[in-house]
Amino acid sequence: MTPPSPPEPPPPSWRGFRWPAEWEPHRATWLTWPRRESDSFPGARYDAAAPVIARLIREIAAGEEVQLNVWDAAAGEEARAHLARAGVPLARVTLHEFPAYEPWCRDHGPLFLVRDGPPRERALLNWGYNAWGGKYPPWDLDDQIPLRIAAFRGLPVRTPGWILEGGSLESNGAGTLLTTESCLLNPNRNPDLTRADWDRLLRDWLGARQVIWLGAGIVGDDTDGHVDDLTRFVDARTLVTAVEPDPADPNHAPLAENLARLRAARDPDGRPFRVVTLPLPGPVVQAGRRLPATHLNFYVANAAVIVPTYRDPRDREALATLRRLFPDRPVVGLDATDLIWGLGAFHCLTQPEFA
Active site residues: 348
Q: In Å, what is the CA distance from 21 to each residue of 134, 173, 198, 345?
A: 29, 4, 19, 19
Which amino acid, 344? G
Residue 20: alpha-carbon gap to chain centroid: 13
State phi, psi for 284 to the nearest 5 degrees. Answer: -105, 115
Asked if residues 105 and 138 have their Cβ atoms less than 8 Å apart, the reply is no
Q: How far apart are CA 22 and CA 234, in angstroms?
A: 9
Query: Which helix H or strand E contains 45, and what residues bound it?
Result: helix 44-61
Q: Are 176 and 206 in contact (CB under 8 A)?
A: no
Number of Cβ within a 10 Å radius of residue 219: 17
> What are the start-end ranges of the E strands in the chain?
26-32, 65-69, 93-96, 111-115, 121-125, 157-158, 170-171, 176-180, 210-214, 231-235, 238-243, 274-279, 284-286, 289-291, 299-300, 305-309, 331-335, 351-354
Quickly list DSSP for 73-108. HHHHHHHHHHHHHTT--GGGEEEE----SS--HHHH
Residue partners of 96: CB distance under 8 A and separation at least 6 = 67, 68, 69, 70, 148, 152
In order of 59, 174, 281, the CA distances from 293 in angstroms are: 21, 29, 7
What Cα–Cα distance (Å) separates residue 31 from each residue in 38, 139, 180, 281, 353? 15, 17, 24, 26, 11
